[in-house]
Amino acid sequence: MPERKALLFANVASRQGAMDLAPALEVLREGGVRVLEERPPDVRQLGAWILAQRSAADLVIVGGGDGTLNAAAEALVEAGLPLGILPLGTANDLARTLQIPTDLVEASRVIAAGRTHRIDLGRVNGKYFFNVASVGLSVHVARELGVEVKRRWGVLGYPLTLWRALGRHRAFRAEIRCNGTRARLRTIQISVGNGRHYGGGMTIAADAAIDDGLLDVVSLAPQGLVELILNLPALRWGQHERAARVRHWRCRDIEIRTVRSLPINTDGEVTTRTPAHIVVVPQALAVHVPQSFIDSRGSDHAAG
């Protein structure tokens, strides 16, 4: 394989951003990936930096969590370059969906091997997302799950923050249009998943996939604390048929309207508000993945 030139952005503010990247970079070098010595910006200028440097690179490597990847999404699509992921975040839900190892040396080997697979992206009000767009309880969690909580508690920070947010969050009324039908409901959370995992390892649906051209919509009705605790195992593994007061749809184009405009969380960052128009963008981006992920998708989902 000829030498490939890579743009590398590592978010030093992510939970594992202070880790020594030297062993991972050595694996990349030995695998024929040369990291360009361009000084990267902070995450707020990440997209502009990718677009400014795209003509010099063959791929983009992003070291960070799901929020960092979300910040790069628009530019990655526009640049048309394949993405390599070094999981440096707390949840690393996209890496989990794609079976990318959390060990940075092993993740670098995935990039060096050069296998790519095209994945879908979701788009809400023009904003791309990898894993999930959600309204309600998760926005409270995203706002309260600060850097210090993530660094201290890791992925356990999600249920701990959720527990605190439950006491302050109120139900809201919403209308969902999906597959040509409309549903009016009272809910505490609406999640629209593109990938398989979100929220620190939660599964949006047991058979969800990031390359199936579909979005999974899940609404959680108001319920008492005991009932919610009983529902948690089913919610954790996306087994909605076993969960009480949960509704699930699968579609390609969704509208969500609320009585008052509410913030929307995409991949852990609040980026837009309702009303929301959400669509799936099939095979929007090529991502470096391990052979195990390609094998799991079967012969109908060949590598890109």
Write the pLDDT tens digit of every residue in 57-111: 999 999 999 999 999 999 999 999 999 999 998 789 999 999 999 999 999 999 9
- Per the CB < 8 A criterion, the answer to whether 177 and 255 are in contact is yes
User: 124-182: per-residue pLDDT in tens?
Assistant: 999 999 999 999 987 776 655 554 444 453 444 455 555 555 556 678 999 999 988 89
Say what the pTM is.
0.86
Look at residue 148 in the predicted model and tell me its pLDDT: 47
- 184-206 burial string, b = 16+ CB within 10 Å, else e? eeebbbbbbbbbbbbbbebbbbe
Which stretches of the chain are assigned E, i.e. beta strand? 4-10, 33-35, 59-64, 83-87, 116-124, 127-129, 132-136, 172-178, 181-187, 189-193, 197-198, 202-203, 215-220, 246-251, 253-258, 263-266, 269-273, 276-288
- Per the CB < 8 A criterion, the answer to whether 175 and 186 are in contact is no
- Per the CB < 8 A criterion, the answer to whether 159 and 230 are in contact is no
H helical segments located in 10-153: 22-30, 46-53, 66-79, 93-97, 104-113, 137-144, 147-153
Terminal Cα-to-Cα distance of the chain (whole angstroms): 16
What is the rounded average pLDDT of the residues 107-129?
A: 97
Look at residue 163 in the predicted model and tell me its pLDDT: 52
| Residue 79, SS3 per DSSP | helix
Look at residue 162 in the predicted model and tell me its pLDDT: 56
DSSP lists the bridge partners of residue 123 as 128, 279
Residue that is written with structure tokens 């128009």 in the block: 277
269 catalytic, yes or no?
yes
Look at residue 144 in the predicted model and tell me its pLDDT: 58
Look at residue 302 in the predicted model and tell me its pLDDT: 42
Q: Domains in the chain, please, with CATH? A: 4-121+283-297 (3.40.50.10330), 127-282 (2.60.200.40)
Single out the catalytic residue among 38, 144, 175, 269: 269
Look at residue 153 in the predicted model and tell me its pLDDT: 39
Look at residue 19 in the predicted model and tell me its pLDDT: 60
User: 217-276: per-residue pLDDT in tens?
Assistant: 999 888 766 677 777 777 777 887 777 788 999 999 999 999 999 999 999 888 999 999
Q: 187 or 297: which carries more pLDDT confidence?
A: 187
User: 24-65: per-residue pLDDT in tens?
Assistant: 999 999 999 999 977 778 888 999 999 999 999 999 999 999
Degrees, nearest 5: CA angle 129-132-134: 115
